[in-house]
Amino acid sequence: MPVMLSEVLDILEPCVPKERDSYFVDGTLGGGGHAEAILEKFSNVKVVGFDMDKNARDMAGSRLSEYKDRLRIVPRNFSALGDLADELSSEMGGYSCGVMFDLGVSNMQLSTPERGFSFQEDGPLDMRMDEDADIPTAADILKNSDIPELARIFREYGEERHAFRIAGAIVRARNEGKVSDTTGELTALIRRSLPAPVQRRMGGHPARRIFQALRIAVNSELESIPDGLGGAYDITGDGGAIIVIAYHSLEDRIIKQTFQRWAQDGRGSMKTRRPMVPTDEEIEKNRKSRSAKLRAFIVHKPETENA
């Protein structure tokens, strides 16, 4: 079930013009859950779905095959949104009623061991969302970074208090010829590096923050967000919505600060001052949703700027 789906649809409802066609950009198509509900509910809306992951695009393409006349799938990072704004606007026909980003990894990525995203499944330490991208994998980062660099990644992207200790254990093991290039090896090494009482106090799996940090580093996730938001603003028409669901405070901080700055500059207004969170009922049904924070911005543009 897509996270906070009814909230997304409720925010979008007043933004979709009844009297003319419009298009919506899903910057993180994933399995196509949000896109499917939008295509189903708004019959005069076309959807452009971005995803860097080929498996996600294939999965969404077949799930949404009945809507293929109203769907365009773009195999790009959503940071390219701004560069494609003119092309999309002429191809999709003018007015964009909004853009959404449901950030991070999908259930499909997490539950495929060969992708290396999960500390609960054993597989190669890859973690690239775009498997064709010529970028370092998580194993490459562990192999080639020194202790200060690894500790920085773990602290900055994982907010891990024991960053230095874990980085030290990884580099010492590497110097002894024990390379961590599977998720199982890394998880075991993290466990060995932390005394049992520390692990008990961590609240959650001891490898959780390190895996998050590596994933963010491999995919330059935080760097994509400002460009994605800028592109979303360029594309969205007057009265349209930019909706973002974030799963950790690093992402949420960037979104909150961007929306606050835009509001001060008169570029529109925040839908709610505080982020929306899932209901207890949704959290019970879908554990992944428990850390979700949804923020939405309603765009205001003078007429000349409008598509």
Q: Which of 7, 12, 16, 51 binds ligand SAM (CB under 6 A)?
A: 51
Residue nearest to ligand SAM (CB): 30
Q: Cβ 150 to ligand SAM, closest distance in Å?
A: 23
Q: Cβ 175 to ligand SAM, closest distance in Å?
A: 34
CA distances from 127 to 24, 50, 222, 254, 273 (A): 28, 19, 15, 23, 34
Distance CA 141, CA 46 (A): 40
Q: Which of 16, 24, 77, 278 binds ligand SAM (CB under 6 A)?
A: 77
The reply on whether position 289 binds ligand SAM by CB under 6 A is no
Q: Cβ 55 to ligand SAM, closest distance in Å?
A: 8
The reply on whether position 56 binds ligand SAM by CB under 6 A is yes
Asked if 38 contacts 110 with a C-beta cutoff of 8 angstroms, the reply is no
Burial of 232 (0-12, 13-18, 19+ CB in 10 A): buried
Write out the H or E segment, with its range, that includes residue 61: helix 54-63
Report the candidate in 165, 130, 157, 125 with the shortest Cα–Cα distance to residue 141.
Answer: 125
Number of residues that bind ligand SAM (CB under 6 A): 20
Q: Which stretch binds ligand SAM (CB under 6 A): 48-56, 91-99, 201-209, 254-262?
A: 48-56
Q: Which of 39, 45, 53, 157 binds ligand SAM (CB under 6 A)?
A: 53
Q: Which of 23, 24, 42, 50 binds ligand SAM (CB under 6 A)?
A: 50
Identify which of residues 77 and 236 has a Cβ nearer to ligand SAM in the complex: 77
Asked if 1 contacts 23 with a C-beta cutoff of 8 angstroms, the reply is no
3-state SS, residue 117: coil
The reply on whether position 282 binds ligand SAM by CB under 6 A is no
Residues 207-246, interacting with ligand SAM (CB under 6 A): 224
Identify which of residues 1 and 188 has a Cβ nearer to ligand SAM in the complex: 1
Asked if 95 contacts 299 with a C-beta cutoff of 8 angstroms, the reply is no
Strand blocks (E) in 5-44 = 22-26
The reply on whether position 102 binds ligand SAM by CB under 6 A is yes
Which CB contacts under 8 angstroms, 24+ apart, belong to 135-138? 135/218, 136/218, 137/218, 138/214, 138/215, 138/217, 138/218
Q: Which of 16, 22, 25, 33 binds ligand SAM (CB under 6 A)?
A: 33
- Binding residues for ligand SAM (CB under 6 A): 2, 28, 30-34, 50-53, 56, 77-79, 102, 104, 106, 129, 224
